[in-house]
A and B are shown apart, each in its own frame.
Chain A
C-alpha cells in the first residue's frame, strides 16, 4: 500500500509520497528525500553509519520506521551545519586524520556531536563507549578518539560549551 506522510528534517517539513509501509528512515532519507549524507551499510543497527538525531537522541536511521516519525525533529549530517561551514567536530576530524575512506564519517560526526552536547569533558573511556556503535574499518579509532578529545579541550578552553 502506498503511504503519504510528512517528516520534519533539518528544520524543514518534507512530504514523503508513494512510500511502502515498512521503509526505514534511512531508506526514506536517501531514496525518497535525496539526502545522501547519511550512509547505509549493515541495515541491522550494527555499524552506526546511518546515525541521525531523532528528537535530539542519537539513533540508527535503519532501525526507525519512517512512517511513524511524523511530528518528530530529525537532524541528519546535512543539518549539523546549515550554513555549510564545517563544524568544530568536522574540522577536528580533518585535522586529526580521522577521515580516510569517509564512509563512516557522517555517522561518527553525529555521534561525536551528540556526546559532546551531553558530556562536555568526556574521559577516554566515555568517548570509546559512546562511539562503540560506529564501526570504522580504516582508522583504527585512535585518530577518531583524538579528534573528539581535541574538540572537547578547545570548547572548554574557549568557554563555548552549550551545557
Chain B
C-alpha cells in the first residue's frame, strides 16, 4: 500500500525515515491541486492528519510561549483560545481560502509549502516563532528566518517532519492585513503582520508576497522602535508615514501574473503605515 496513515508521531517519523521520498500529506489543499492538474505524480504518501500529537496546542506559562501542533487547522486557530493569545495569527488564518479550506488546511501545511504568499508566515516571522522538526535521530527547532530559505524552499531535511511551532506571547497590539483582488478566497498580492512588544519596546513587521521569503524590515523596525513614545504609547503622523516608506523600501517585490512590483511596494507602504497607526492610535 502506497498510502500510510500513521496514528502516532513515532510511527509517522519512522515511516518518513524509511521512505524520505514520500509526500507528507497534511490537509491536502496544496498537494491535491497539483495532483488534480497532473503537475505532480504521487508515488508514496504519508497522511499525517490522524496523528494526535500534531493536532494539539497549549500554553507554556513559564516561557510565555504558545505551542501549536503542525496538524492544527486554520479553523481552530481562528477560535478564541488561540485568537486571544496571538490575534494576528487568527486574523491571518481567517483570510485563508474558504471554510472548506480552513477546516482541513493546517499551520504545518502552510510551513511545508512555504509559499511567500502563505498567510500565516508573515505572522510567524514577525513574532519570531520557532519551527519544530522531528526525525528518528531526534528533534530540533529553528527560527522561522532559518526555516524559510526561498520560494517554497525550507531547511527541513527530507526525513524530518514538521511537528509544530512555538510562538512567543507578547503584550501589545498585533495584526495581519492583506491586499488581494477581493475579500474572500484570495491569494495575497501583498500582506503584512505588525506586532508590538510593549515590554521589550519594539515594533516588528513581516511582509508576505513581496519577496522570495517573508521579509522582516529590520532597519525600519529599529528606527520606529526608537521613535515611539513608549510611556504615552503614541507616534507622530510624520513618523507613521516615514515608517511606511521605509518598509516599502525593504520589500523586494517582482512583476508577475498577480500584480506589479510597483503596486506591491506601494501596498506595503500603505499597510505598514496603517497598521502602525492602529497599533498606536494617538498621534
Which A positions have Cβ atoms within 8 angstroms of B?
1, 3, 5, 21-22, 24, 43-46, 48, 51, 54, 57-60, 62-65, 67-68, 70, 111, 114, 129-130, 132-134
B28 in contact with A67 (CB, 8 Å): no
Interface-centre pick from B31, B33, B36 (highest chain A CB count, 10 A) = B36
A24 in contact with B5 (CB, 8 Å): no
B137 within 8 A of A: no
A10 to chain B, nearest CB (A): 19
Q: Which residues of B contact A3 (CB under 8 A)?
A: 1-3
B37 within 8 A of A: yes
Which B positions have Cβ atoms within 8 angstroms of A?
1-3, 5, 25, 27-29, 31-33, 35-37, 40-43, 45, 47, 49, 97-101, 103-104, 184-185
Q: Which residues of B contact A57 (CB under 8 A)?
A: 103-104
In-complex Cβ contact of A45 among B2, B25, B29, B35 (8 A): B29
Q: Which residues of A contact B103 (CB under 8 A)?
A: 57-59
How far is A132 from B31 in the complex, measured between Cα atoms in Å? 22
Q: Which residues of B contact A21 (CB under 8 A)?
A: 2-3, 42-43, 45
A64 in contact with B28 (CB, 8 Å): yes
B273 to chain A, nearest CB (A): 28
B41 in contact with A22 (CB, 8 Å): yes
B188 to chain A, nearest CB (A): 16
B32 in contact with A63 (CB, 8 Å): yes
Q: Which residues of B contact A132 (CB under 8 A)?
A: 98-99, 184-185
What are 23 A-to-B residue pairs whose CB atoms are below 8 Å? Answer: A3-B1, A5-B3, A21-B2, A21-B42, A22-B42, A24-B32, A43-B36, A45-B29, A45-B98, A60-B100, A63-B28, A63-B32, A63-B33, A65-B25, A68-B49, A111-B99, A114-B99, A132-B99, A132-B184, A133-B97, A133-B98, A133-B184, A134-B98
Interface-centre pick from B98, B100, B101 (highest chain A CB count, 10 A) = B100
A43 in contact with B37 (CB, 8 Å): yes
A96 to chain B, nearest CB (A): 21
B37 in contact with A44 (CB, 8 Å): yes
B185 in contact with A24 (CB, 8 Å): no
Minimum-distance CB pairs A-B, first 10: A133-B98, A132-B184, A68-B47, A22-B42, A43-B36, A63-B32, A22-B35, A67-B3, A44-B33, A57-B103
Interface-centre pick from A45, A57, A60 (highest chain B CB count, 10 A) = A45
How far is A45 from B40 in the complex, measured between Cα atoms in Å? 17
- Please give 14 more A-B residue pairs, beta carbons under 8 A apart, in addition to A3-B2, A129-B99: A3-B1, A3-B3, A22-B40, A22-B42, A44-B37, A45-B100, A57-B103, A58-B103, A62-B36, A67-B3, A111-B99, A132-B98, A133-B101, A133-B184
How far is A138 from B1 in the complex, measured between Cα atoms in Å? 44
In-complex Cβ contact of A70 among B5, B28, B37, B97 (8 A): B5
A68 in contact with B5 (CB, 8 Å): yes
B214 to chain A, nearest CB (A): 23
Q: Which residues of B contact A45 (CB under 8 A)?
A: 29, 32-33, 97-98, 100-101
Q: Which residues of A contact B40 (CB under 8 A)?
A: 22
B100 in contact with A59 (CB, 8 Å): yes
Q: Which residues of A contact B43 (CB under 8 A)?
A: 21
Interface-centre pick from B1, B3, B42, B184 (highest chain A CB count, 10 A) = B3
Interface-centre pick from A24, A129, A133 (highest chain B CB count, 10 A) = A133
How far is A68 from B49 in the complex, measured between Cα atoms in Å? 9
How far is A3 from B2 in the complex, measured between Cα atoms in Å? 8
Q: Which residues of A contact B36 (CB under 8 A)?
A: 24, 43-44, 62
A64 in contact with B104 (CB, 8 Å): yes
B28 in contact with A65 (CB, 8 Å): yes
Q: Which residues of B contact A1 (CB under 8 A)?
A: 2
